Amino acid sequence: MRSILLSTFTALVFLQWTLLGFAAEKPNIIFIMADDLGYGDLGCYGQQVIQTPRLDQMAEQGMRFTQFYAGCTVCAPSRSVLMTGQHTGHTYVRGNAGGEDSIIQSLRDEDVTVAEVLKSVGYHTGLVGKWGLGEVDQPGFPLRQGFDSFFGYLHQGHAHNYYPEFLYRNDQRVKLRNVVQRPEGKPPGFWGGSATKRVDYSHDLFANEALEFVRENAAEPFFLYLAFTIPHANNEAKRMVGNGAEVPSFGIYANRDWPDPDKGQAAMITRMDGDAGRLLDLLKELAIDENTLVFFTSDNGPHDESNHNLERFNPSGPLTGIKRSLTEGGVRVPMIARWPGKVKAGTVSEHVGYFADVLPTLKDLSGAQTEVATDGISFLPTLTGSGEQKEHEYLYWEFYEQGSRQSVRFGDWVAIRQPMFSGSVSLFNLNQDIAEQNDLAKQNPELVAKAVACMEQAHTPNQNWAPRGAPIKK
């Protein structure tokens, strides 16, 4: 008995020192997020048409998650979940507000973000790309939410256009050489539109900015949130010129017998793949590869807004639904983690997690002591193969458009109620029916009751968010 206790004590001490060792080293952290990239859009997740060799290689060198979920099925609330660690029943920003009500799409001063947590333990924090959670004069402005630097789009409507007239560097507009025609009828502050003169491609600027950020901060612990806009559509360009897949070159797809929107969609994803590879190459060049944890994911499921052919690419893979649905295709996303020597290469994880887990994971990893209310669970034990991995009782989502809906995943089951709060419930067993074709609600009333109880528990009222056309639930 004494030897057993001694062995147990030794193992616990070793685990504690191992985790403390990770925190003491303060590894660099890069979180790359694509915009509207589907679960099936990468080769390592089954894509057969679009080439993504560098991200496939990243998966071979790290861990590929098969059951990881975005925070929501559209961008702003999904990003709010990522930043605050609270699901859409709790986080402040629960939908895409539009230009007229942009203040309700701003984080508040009291919200605690991933960047603030990491900044508290000495990380230099940078955001490149699309923010969508507060503008210059609002409390959600990135430099008021823990970021030391920002370069990119503040407003999601502005981010539609890959050839904008300007981008923001911190709180200043940086004029670009593009000339933009804006659509009529858009509210003040909307900066989307379609370029009539195309010179500066925003994605390329973001890729280069990310490389420069890493070079400048290689000697100190840094956190880079690289929020690419690819392969989001330019919705206005689709309406104006019939092609929302804006890219400087069709690249390897130029000679395919496809319509231009299809060539552009594929070229955007392959372009992003190459830029992710450039970033990984730089880590090796700077000899910080083994002290840098890199994530790659997407903010929600794939879109159908570029006028491209979904059937050609099958972007949701085996899943049903796309962006704006709460079926698996709308919220289950690719997730890859790479950290040489710490995350075992070639690992495929079935751990069930989502964006709310990122904050507690990075908090544990960095050794930060910041108090923060979160719905997430650290998945550091899964990443490192050390310690006991806690599991969620359930995952929860809300969506306020298209009549509204809410969903919960518990175990192998997922339940979807639409409209939210009062509608009928569909129930699917993902282990047996990943495409969600067989509704088992009538056969399992006790599971439906459990799902509804989880939904009721998860939702807290928010004065700004209600199903469109319906009163806010008190």
Which tens digit of pLDDT belongs to each residue from 59-108? 999 999 999 999 999 999 999 999 999 999 999 999 998 666 789 999 99
| Residue 24 scores a pLDDT above 80 | no
Q: What is the mean pLDDT of residues 318-341?
A: 98
CA distance 96 to 401: 9
131 and 52 within one domain: yes
224 and 91 within one domain: yes
369 and 427 within one domain: no
CA distance 238 to 102: 24
Q: What is the mean pLDDT of residues 182-195?
A: 74
CA distances from 408 to 108, 260, 326, 414, 458 (A): 26, 38, 9, 6, 9
418 and 296 within one domain: no
203 and 134 within one domain: yes
Residue 181 pLDDT class (50, 70, 90 cuts): confident
DSSP category for residue 407: E
Contact 8, 2 (CB under 8 A): no
Q: Does residue 466 form part of some domain?
A: no
Q: Does residue 40 form part of some domain?
A: yes
Q: Does residue 179 form part of some domain?
A: yes
Q: DSSP string of 421-456?
A: TTSEEEEEETTT-TT--S--TTT-HHHHHHHHHHHH
Q: Residue 174 is part of a domain; what is its CATH number?
A: 3.40.720.10
pLDDT over 70 percentage in the chain:
92
> What is the Rg, in whole angstroms, of the alpha carbon atoms belonging to the chain?
22
Q: Does residue 464 form part of some domain?
A: no
366 and 402 within one domain: no
List of residues 6+ apart from 310 with CB closer than 8 A = 302, 304, 322
Neighbours of 152 (CB within 10 A): 24
Q: Which of 384, 417, 448 is the last residue of a domain?
A: 384
CA distance 435 to 425: 17
CA distances from 317 to 36, 210, 219 (A): 14, 30, 41
Contact 299, 228 (CB under 8 A): no
Q: Does residue 252 form part of some domain?
A: yes
* Domains held by the chain: number: 2
Which tens digit of pLDDT belongs to each residue from 203-258? 999 999 999 999 999 999 999 999 999 999 998 889 888 899 999 999 999 999 99
Contact 141, 172 (CB under 8 A): no
| Assessment of whether the complete model's pTM goes beyond 0.85 | yes
Q: Does residue 255 form part of some domain?
A: yes
267 and 194 within one domain: yes
337 and 211 within one domain: yes
CA distance 317 to 296: 18
Q: Does residue 309 form part of some domain?
A: yes
Residue 25 pLDDT class (50, 70, 90 cuts): confident
CA distances from 334 to 87, 296, 315, 319 (A): 19, 8, 11, 12
- Strand-pair partners of 405: 399
45 and 164 within one domain: yes
Range from 18-32, 60-74, 409-423, 431-445 carrying the lowest mean pLDDT: 18-32
Q: Residue 434 is part of a domain; what is its CATH number?
A: 3.30.1120.10
Q: Does residue 465 form part of some domain?
A: no
Which tens digit of pLDDT belongs to each residue from 260-295? 999 999 999 999 999 999 999 999 999 999 999 999
182 and 305 within one domain: yes
309 and 160 within one domain: yes
Residue 474 has what pLDDT?
47
| Residue 378 scores a pLDDT above 70 | yes
430 and 341 within one domain: no
Residue numbers of the domain that contains 88: 26-384
Burial grade of 211 (CB within 10 A; 0-12, 13-18, 19 or more): middle
Which tops the pLDDT comparison, 115 or 156? 115
CA distance 382 to 64: 11
| Residue 10 scores a pLDDT above 80 | no
| Residue 468 scores a pLDDT above 80 | no
| Residue 187 scores a pLDDT above 70 | no
Which tens digit of pLDDT belongs to each residue from 26-56? 999 999 999 999 999 999 999 999 999 999 9
